[in-house]
Homo-oligomer: A and B are copies of this chain.
């Protein structure tokens, strides 16, 4: 597993290392607010008050509201790229590697749906330079997935006529979990990860491993 600890389900698990304490609390508050209302509808007053501070305190730790979004987006993207590359390098067969990649990626998007919503759906609010930097990280994500599909085809484990198109579809399927997942829904992040891994193996014409799917 690539989890970091028991507080994995907490929205801000990824920001544990941020100091000072006030800066971290502001990040967590911003994640919640951006996820609930969107970047533009969120006021700096709202963020500060959720963090138990005055509006002005925000500007001691961050130059602008956009810089908060950038930090959230950057940490989130680092995390997802990390998850995927870890899965890419472990596992005995390509089938196991793809299964693990989808499983972990989906589980993260469900367990951290609050953070993931900001990471995946508020990109357009980033400034031009920050946006360009994040886009580069997203390209890397797509490359990893395309590589996995190509390896599976080479190994004779998958049948994928259109590798780029299928890679986009698989990523898209997984990312969208952040949009619809609700904590009070019928499934745990682990269950959704298992379901999606099975569905994706079917999409690529792989061995179903139906034991997990039933």
Chain A residues within CB distance 8 Å of chain B: 37-38, 40-41, 121, 124-125, 161-162, 164-166, 168-169, 172-173, 175-177, 179-180, 186-187, 192, 195-196, 199, 202-203, 205, 210, 213-214
Contacts and interface: CB of A to CB of B under 8 A. Distances in A.
A40 B124 CA distance: 13
25 contacts: A37-B40, A38-B38, A38-B40, A38-B124, A38-B125, A40-B40, A41-B125, A121-B121, A121-B179, A161-B210, A161-B213, A164-B186, A165-B187, A165-B192, A166-B199, A168-B180, A172-B173, A172-B177, A172-B179, A173-B176, A176-B176, A176-B179, A202-B202, A202-B203, A203-B203
Contacts of A214: 161
